[in-house]
C-alpha cells in the first residue's frame, strides 16, 4: 500500500462477533482494549434535560447522549491509545 493510500484509509475499531474479538484497522485483532470516557461531558451516557431547559423538562428527565449513545464512553484500541491520558486500561 502506498503512503497516499495509507493516509486516506479510514480508521475503524469494531467488534467481530464471529471471532469474538475487537479488530483495529491499524493493529488487526487486539487483546488489549481501553475505555475512554465520553468527551461530551455526559454523566454515564445521559444528560439531565432539566438542567438545560427547566421550563420544558421536569427534574430527573434524562436524555441519551448523542456522542456515546448512552454508553458513557468508548472502547478503544489499547495499542493505539497507549499514551492517551484519558484511556483507562
Identify the band that residue 22 occupies on the pLDDT scale cut at 50, 70 and 90: very high
82 domain-assigned = no
Apex 79 CA angle, 40 and 29, nearest 5? 105
The model's pTM is 0.74
Q: In the predicted model, what is the mean pLDDT of the chain?
A: 90
17 domain-assigned = yes
pLDDT tens, position by position, 28-60: 999 999 999 999 989 799 999 998 899 999 998
84 domain-assigned = no
User: Is 3 a residue whose pLDDT tops 90?
Assistant: no
85 domain-assigned = no
Query: How many structural domains are present in the chain?
Result: 1
83 domain-assigned = no
89 domain-assigned = no
The DSSP call for residue 31 is: S
Domain of residue 42 covers 3-77
CA distance linking residue 40 with residue 21, whole number of Å: 27
Identify the band that residue 2 occupies on the pLDDT scale cut at 50, 70 and 90: low
Amino acid at each position: 500500500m502506498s503512503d497516499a493510500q495509507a493516509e486516506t484509509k479510514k480508521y475503524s475499531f469494531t467488534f467481530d462477533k464471529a471471532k469474538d474479538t475487537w479488530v483495529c484497522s491499524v493493529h488487526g485483532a487486539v487483546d488489549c482494549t481501553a475505555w475512554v470516557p465520553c468527551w461530551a461531558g455526559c454523566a454515564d451516557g445521559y444528560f439531565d434535560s432539566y438542567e438545560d431547559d427547566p421550563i420544558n423538562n421536569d427534574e430527573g428527565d434524562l436524555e441519551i447522549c448523542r456522542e456515546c449513545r448512552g454508553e458513557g464512553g468508548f472502547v478503544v484500541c489499547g495499542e493505539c491509545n497507549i499514551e492517551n491520558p484519558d484511556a483507562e486500561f
